[in-house]
């Protein structure tokens, strides 16, 4: 990808993240650029400050868009691990249902959770944030 294509991908992911939050009734005030991380074209992890003065982390990219509210001090690397564990638990619950569509989504979550954990484990990807 060219630098221009990378920047366009990052903008697209930011818009996807803020639209996702808006659909959940959460209004974005600003993004913490220094804490957010991107692995183009796989994932973006955004620390987004909301109008109610709280912050959430949103993940988007080649995976389901999702959000979590954690303590304010966790680094993006730990957030990626948290999403991985959250999705593994969600997948386990979906697999208990007798619904083929939910089972397919569970398999997607399992695959993406595994990929996120591998990204979390690669220390060289996180050197600038350590």
Encode pLDDT of 96-117 as tens digits.
998 999 999 999 999 999 999 9
**For residue 61, what pLDDT is reported?**
95
Query: What are the backbone dihedrals phi and psi of residue 72, each rounded to the nearest 5 degrees, phi first?
Result: -75, -15
Q: Where are the domains of the chain?
A: 3-129
Q: Is 63 helix (H, G, I), strand (E, B) or coil?
A: coil
b/e for 106-120, b at 16 or more Cβ within 10 A?
Answer: beebbebbebbbebb
- pLDDT value at 70 more than 90: no
pTM of the model: 0.90
């Amino acid at each position: 990808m060219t630098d221009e294509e990378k920047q366009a991908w990052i903008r697209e992911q930011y818009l996807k993240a803020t639209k996702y939050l808006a659909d959940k009734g959460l209004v974005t005030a600003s993004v913490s650029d220094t804490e957010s991380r991107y692995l183009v074209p796989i994932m973006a992890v955004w620390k987004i400050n909301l109008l109610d003065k709280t912050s959430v982390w949103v993940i988007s990219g080649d995976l389901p868009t999702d959000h979590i509210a954690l303590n304010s001090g966790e680094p993006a690397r730990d957030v990626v691990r948290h999403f991985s564990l959250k999705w593994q638990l969600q997948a386990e619950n979906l697999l208990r249902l007798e619904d083929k569509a939910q089972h397919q989504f569970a398999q997607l979550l399992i695959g993406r959770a595994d990929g996120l954990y591998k990204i979390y484990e690669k220390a060289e990807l996180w050197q600038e944030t350590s």
